[in-house]
Amino acid sequence: MNTNKGKWIARALFFRLAMVAIMSTAVMLLWNAVVVDLFGLQVISYFQSLGLLVLARILSGRIGPGGRYGQGGMMHKKGFMHEHWKKMKEEEKAHWMQRINKGVNISDPDVKSE
């Protein structure tokens, strides 16, 4: 393995672990400062706050490094919409964008845009 690549991986791993530690500490401090006083719940520990972060990530569907659709969402080059978008004609793209801007549910075929 290239030593530069190894150093980069070690730094990335360290940064990710540091971010998790910072976020867990922030959740713990905010919970203990706000939720305990407002709702009368118990004080939580660092590891309980880490568990809350993991639970929130699972419940929100953002499991893995980039979330549900990976790094960059649905329109990313590996996302499912990218290939579909590339194959669309210009008038289909314009119609799709018009419906998105109006807030119409694209997946509902019965809804007609005006």
Q: What's the pLDDT tens digit per position in 10-61?
A: 999 999 999 999 999 999 999 999 999 999 999 999 999 999 999 988 887 7
pLDDT given at position 6: 86
Domain spans in the chain, listed from the N-terminal domain onward: 1-63, 73-107
pLDDT band for position 4 (cuts 50, 70, 90): confident
Say which residues have a Cβ less than 8 Å from residue 88's Cβ, sequence separation at least 6: 96
Q: What's the pLDDT tens digit per position in 69-114?
A: 455 555 555 566 777 788 889 998 888 888 878 765 555 555 554 4
